[in-house]
Structure 1
Amino acid sequence: MASGDGGNGGEEWPKDFKKAQGTLNEVLHFAVENTPANEDREPETREPLTEEKKEFLNKVFNDMLRDEVKEMKEHIEVLKRIQDSETEEDQEEKEERLEALLDLCETIDNAQDFLKVGGVSVAMVLCRDPSSEVRWRALDLLAMTVQNNPFNQNAMVEQDALKLFIELLDNDRAYQVRVKALYAISCLVRENELAQDALVKEDGFSSMMRAMQSDIEKLQIKAAFLLSALLWEQPKFNEALHSMGMVQQLISLLLQTEHKLYHEHVMSAILHLVSQHAGCRADSLIPDLNFRGFLEERMKELNGKEEYLEELEYCQKLTALYAAEAQNDNGADR
């Protein structure tokens, strides 16, 4: 029978009670699975726990009793101490500590604690480490701490994290670092207006365009997807992108590159801008671009190919939009 102290023999529950609940559920599930169905069965006839089951229970109870904030602080202190070291041993230590912190920061509560105990500033320093292996892991960690986390997103915007991510996306020589920098940008700016305003201020859309123009397919796909997602999420970008001639740049990208899967996201971005902003629509009809002719050719190319159905749909919607506008103009002339 449970006592008023929680039925745990007078001991306090772990501080992280939500985590404890999860591990207790694991124990309960284990107990149900391993309890004989026949209640009359003699205790001595039950099979002893196997080593595998003992190991499982030990792990569950150890997880319940972990002080994860303390663990984070220990990792951060070590990283502070060795952040300027370039020895092979310390570089490996940095990688291991960053990976451990990444595991710890999978929950929003831990991610916020990571910010509060000074982890973000240390990780930002490590984004400039001589080792690309350290740099991309630091970026991965920072991306994890801001994903779907408005508190951390706002704090990191104020610490100029976005400026750092854009710089690394543009200039880092390591492919993996550039990919993780773009991932960190995406996690920081999605559904956060403060970060989105900073993206415009830091000319982040030009960086995305340069990523799409790179010869790294993963960057092309991720940058095009992020651009499209942001445009459909936040119409306020339309004017800024019109002023920088984004539609002409996107159309030129389609015209000048071999057809690839990421063109679907480029076409989606064009559709948004053309359908939502009159200036962008006018830009898309500049005669030198011959975008309408390009759309006709692209639809012929995509027709009947199941993997390109969405891109084909975007082309069809653009063509219909131009046709309706031309019909309206003719009607007005009459």
Structure 2
Amino acid sequence: MSEREGDGSRQPHNMQGLLNFCTEITAREDPTGSSQVQEMDPQRRAFLEEALRSLTVDVVRKLAEGVKTLCSEAVTMPGEDVTEQEEAMEMIGEYVDDLNNAMDVHKMGGFPVLIRCLDSPHTSLRIGAASLIGDICQNDLYCQENMLSLNIMPVLLHMLDTDEDRQARVKALYALSCLIRDCPKGEAEFFEADGSSYLMRAMQSGVEKLVVKSAFLLNKLVRGNDSHKATLVSMGYVEQLTTILSNDETDSISREHCTAALLGLVSSYPLALAECLRPELHVSEHLKLRLDDIKDKEETQEEEGYILELLKLMERGDGDGDESTYR
């Protein structure tokens, strides 16, 4: 038996055992104290009991209470006080980063409850529900597929396209991104629902966070599956990305993500490269001007790398450029 296994056999199983364990550990780690385990002072013992009790949380019970609170009719009624529901969402959000807790929310019937909140007249609940759905589904195929089975895709796409609140639209896109990334079923449903058109409109919105998240998702989609590139290029994504990059008012974060997405499209797809080489788009000129502006700046190193790769691909494509110029 290993040393770790030996220690594990002595793990405390109740409050008394935990108190004894803490007392023993404290005695071991105090070099000035007696080597013998001493009886704990009653006042200190009472303090420790209270502290340990406060740390003992029945997470499943709290999650169930939160889901029950979100079932209130107040969620669907304008003018109601939804402070309790907002607090319930905040509480659930504290636990769902743990995969087991996210799965528990599904098992207790929480997924339909969250989807219902997406249609709430209360903006705070729409935002909170979309954010929670994203947190729950991120990098978890079980939650992604079970959420998709509830026909959530058109709900999130509609919210992204039409919600009157900008932050709600941003969170809808976050939820979509978490729902479909690395999930074949999610990607298929996204494209079947014409998700690429919704994504294009989000990218054209001029809202920085929507542009960034759209470009990020686009890059993930094209790098994960070459079969999407034909659809996206035929829709004009190359031209859309170059339009954003040629705009002097485009912020640095948007530029970085849009350049990465353009590189993702151009890499290994000749038709995307041919689009970049269209003279009227002036892609090479814009990239070189941007490169001059950011060259050797630490905060734009990633963008610089994307630009260099794009320029190399374009120079090879037209056969005229001196590749060494931008190494």
Q: TM-score range by the shorter chain?
A: 0.7 to 0.9
Render the CA deviation track for 1:28-52: whole Å, top value 9, x for unaligned: 5685246555445683685841776
Aligned to 2:202: 211
Change in 2 beyond 3 A, CA 1:316/1:7: closer
Question: Offset at 1:303?
Answer: 2.3
Structure 2 unaligned runs (5+)? Answer: 1-6, 322-327
SS in 1 for 2:281: coil
For residue 32 of structure 1, what is the amino acid of its counterpart? I
Question: Offset at 1:99?
Answer: 2.0
Question: Are residues 1:32 and 2:32 paired?
Answer: no
Aligned to 1:92: 83
The 5 A counterparts of 1:175-194 are: 175-194=166-185
Query: Counterparts of 1:188 and 1:290 in 2: how far apart (Å)?
Result: 36
Question: Offset at 1:202?
Answer: 2.2
Q: Is the 8 A contact 2:157 2:172 kept in 1?
A: yes
- Give 1:302's match in structure 2, choosing from 285, 289, 294: 294
SS in 1 for 2:76: coil
Structure 1 unaligned runs (5+)? Answer: 10-23, 330-334
Question: Are residues 1:55 and 2:28 paired?
Answer: no
Q: Is the 8 A contact 1:200 1:240 kept in 2?
A: no
Render the CA deviation track for 1:265-317: whole Å, top value 9, x for unaligned: 11111112122211111112222112122222222222243322222222222
Q: What percent of counterpart residues are identical? A: 29
Q: Is the 8 A contact 2:256 2:303 kept in 1?
A: yes
Query: Counterparts of 2:158 and 2:294 in 1: how far apart (Å)?
Result: 37
Aligned to 1:43: 38
Change in 2 beyond 3 A, CA 1:218/1:29: farther
TM-score, normalising length from structure 2?
Answer: 0.82
Query: Counterparts of 1:316 and 1:79 in 2: how far apart (Å)?
Result: 50
- Give 1:120's match in structure 2, choosing from 92, 111, 121: 111
Query: Counterparts of 2:60 and 2:115 in 1: how far apart (Å)?
Result: 19
Aligned to 2:145: 154
Q: Is the 8 A contact 1:186 1:226 kept in 2?
A: yes
Q: Is the 8 A contact 1:303 1:312 kept in 2?
A: yes
Aligned to 1:227: 218
Question: Offset at 1:241?
Answer: 0.9
Change in 2 beyond 3 A, CA 1:307/1:102: closer
The 5 A counterparts of 1:1-334 are: 8=13, 32-33=25-26, 36-37=30-31, 38-40=33-35, 43=38, 48-49=43-44, 53-60=48-55, 62-63=56-57, 66=58, 68-82=59-73, 83-89=75-81, 91-261=82-252, 262-327=254-319
Query: Counterparts of 2:22 and 2:207 in 1: how far apart (Å)?
Result: 47
Query: Counterparts of 1:210 and 1:241 in 2: how far apart (Å)?
Result: 13
Change in 2 beyond 3 A, CA 1:45/1:247: closer
Change in 2 beyond 3 A, CA 1:30/1:107: farther
- Worse-superposed segment, 157-166 or 200-209: 200-209
How many residues were matched structurally? Answer: 309
Query: Counterparts of 1:69 and 1:34 in 2: how far apart (Å)?
Result: 35
Query: Counterparts of 1:251 and 1:29 in 2: how far apart (Å)?
Result: 62
Query: Counterparts of 1:223 and 1:55 in 2: how far apart (Å)?
Result: 48
